[in-house]
Every structure is written in C-alpha cells, then in structure tokens.
Amino acid sequence: MSNPLKRARIMIDSEVTGPSGNSDASTPTMTHHKELWFDDGSVVLNAEQILFRVHRTTLSTHSTVFHDMFRIPQPPGQDAIEGCTVVKLPDSSGEVEFLLKALYDPFFFDHSVTLLMFIEILPGMLRLSTKYNILQLRRKVIAIYLERFPSTLGAFDSRSSGDQVLYPWYIMSLVALFRETNALECLPCVFYFCSCLPMSDLLHGCDEVVLSWEDKSACLMGREELLRAQEEFSHSFIFKLVSPPNCANPSVCTRRARRNLYIFHHDQSPLSSVFALKLFTDWKMLDGICPACLSKAQLDHQAGRKVIWDRLPKFFGLESWDDIEKVKQNWADNHSQQGN
C-alpha cells in the first residue's frame, strides 16, 4: 500500500540534452528547474537530471561541505552548462529542491508547517542539511520536529491536539531518520509513540515501512518497561490505591478504587495499551474516594509521569537525557569547526 500523501511535484521548465546541449539518443535528457534557475548563477547542480543553477557564494556561506568542494581545483574538461561547472549530486531532486528553497527564501518556515510539509519535505531537508553540514537549517528543522517529539515533559504536555495526529508508518520511519541524522534528542519520544502502536505494526511494518530488527527489539523492550512503569508510577492510583495517613476511611476508598479499576480496564484495556505519559484528566472517575486520597492520586500521577520521562531514553536502550544533550553539543561543536 502506498503512502496516503503523494510526493511533492517538482517544478520544471525547458529541457536540455547534455552538458553542451548536443542531442544524442544515449544522452539522458536534463531539465532546468523552473524556479531555481538563476541567470546570474555560477554553478549548476544536477540531481536526477533536474538542473538547478544557483550561486557558489550562497552554498559556500551555508555549507562547509560545498565550501570545501568549491576550493578544490576542477580538472580540465569538467562538464559545464552556459559556463557554469556542473556538480552531480546523488540525492533526490525533490529533496534538493526544497533544500535550496529554504536557503534562498528567508521566509520559508514562516508559514505554518502543514502535514504535507511535515511528511514530504522535512525528512529530506534534515537528511541533506546534515549531509552537507548546513547547521543553521539543520537546527531549524530539528526544532520543528521537537515541537511534536519533544525532549522535555513540559513541551510534551504543551503539544496541541493537531500535533498528535500522525500516520503510524510515518512515526516508524522517523526512527531510522533520526538515527541516520544523529537527531538523538527526538528519538526517545518517537520510540514512545512507536510503543503505543499496534503490535502487528511493530512486528510486520505498516505501509511498507518496517523497523530494523534492532529498533523492533528496542520498541518491544521499551514497551514492556512502559507497561510496568505506568502501573508502578504514573497511573499507580488506578491499579492499586494507597491511602494516605489522613484518609477518612481507607477500606471504603480502597473498595471504590477497585471498582474504578474494573471500569478503567474495560474502557482502556490498560493491560495491553501504553499510556504511561498520558495526562489523566477524568478525575470524576474516582468519585467516591475521600479528598485526601484524591489529592494524593493527583500528586502521584504528576510525580510518576516525571519519573517515567526521566527514564524514557533508557527504556529504549538509549543514553540518558543528559548524555543525549552532551552528544548533541559535541556533534554541533565538531561540525561547526569543519571548513575553518
């Protein structure tokens, strides 16, 4: 089954037949990009036979990889179009298109990030900004991802309801993307959402997206940890109410809590569903227990969610939040020094 959203259309213009414009049946047809072909451009990028005439200075300013590439003397006979050196890229033309648009348009991200942009554009932009060491763009893209896959519990709770609607196949695809691009700060939250998916999706994949065996193992182990943690920490008041010393009537509160547990089991299937970080808001379900028990349950819920969040990366075999932050900073420091 194909993904529900079609690939973004590449805007193209006039065709050319080769570096010097000669027609030959064996020469693949190349096409100028309609928007990203500047008459005063100084270099031509060729991605999947789509040509982008852009400026060396723009690429060099943002990318240490292109900066270093352009410092290397070109050999005689290098392909050229209209006097511009042709650089063949092994990347998707669609991904190159949106990377260049983000570099040339300072307002590219000022518009709201639509679901189409989130699914179709940002993954390639993160890949290429990492590959070509375009640090400012990479930071921006990761910041957008962190809005939906946060690295703090406060940000997790602040997500809007629209931020929580994503396709299962897409969530699963982000695991490999964030590993590939070293966006480790996004991984724990993505793994958490993966653990909430049906077991069949985790084991067999969804819409042609299949987790690696390493990531399947991480998800399944993390899922088991979360099921235990939600019973012991974040939702312990549902599974086993422990009355405080000032409880008005412990036996009554315990009996009523046990009844509520049966209702919760019936409605939520907690024995097989992961909801460890979900904010519990249906406190009316605990009607009948005394105010002291209710207050303790609410405090235990918040404290338990904090415990789970702090342990979340470890559940999936990752480093701690603090270590992830150190790795992130070391990566940024090392890559910011390249090209100097």
DSSP assignments along 74-104, one per residue: PPTT--EETTEEEEEE-S-HHHHHHHHHHHH
Q: Is the pLDDT of residue 232 over 90?
A: yes
Q: Is the pLDDT of residue 163 over 70?
A: no
In a domain, 159, yes or no: no
In a domain, 77, yes or no: no
User: Do the Cβ atoms of 113 and 140 come closer than 8 Å?
Assistant: no
Total domains in the fold of the chain:
1
Residue that wins the pLDDT comparison between 336 and 235:
235
Residue 54 phi/psi, 5-degree rounding, is: -130, -165
In a domain, 290, yes or no: yes
Give me the chain's average pLDDT, please: 88
Q: Is the pLDDT of residue 87 over 70?
A: yes
Q: Is the pLDDT of residue 339 over 70?
A: no
Residue type, 250: P
59: tokens are 């690429």
* Direct distance between the N- and C-terminal alpha carbons of the chain, in angstroms, rounded to an integer: 47
For the chain, give the percent of residues with pLDDT over 70.
86
Read off the pLDDT band of 5 (50, 70, 90). Answer: very low
In a domain, 339, yes or no: no
User: Do the Cβ atoms of 46 and 97 come closer than 8 Å?
Assistant: no
Q: Say whether pTM exceeds 0.85.
A: yes
Q: For position 125, what pLDDT does the model report?
A: 97
User: Do the Cβ atoms of 207 and 223 come closer than 8 Å?
Assistant: no
In a domain, 268, yes or no: yes
Question: What range does the domain containing 247 cover?
Answer: 224-315
The mean pLDDT of 202-219, rounded to a whole number, is 96
Read off the pLDDT band of 140 (50, 70, 90). Answer: very high
The mean pLDDT of 256-278, rounded to a whole number, is 75
In a domain, 298, yes or no: yes
In a domain, 304, yes or no: yes
In a domain, 257, yes or no: yes
Residue that wins the pLDDT comparison between 257 and 174:
174
SS3 303: helix
* CB atoms near residue 114 (< 10 Å): 10
Q: For position 267, what pLDDT does the model report?
A: 64
The mean pLDDT of 222-246, rounded to a whole number, is 94
Q: Is the pLDDT of residue 320 over 60?
A: yes
Q: Is the pLDDT of residue 14 over 50?
A: no
Q: For position 48, what pLDDT does the model report?
A: 97
Q: For position 112, what pLDDT does the model report?
A: 66
Helix axes 93-104, 135-148, angle to 10 degrees: 100
Ranking 25-34, 160-169, 205-214 by mean pLDDT, the lowest is: 160-169
Q: For position 60, what pLDDT does the model report?
A: 97
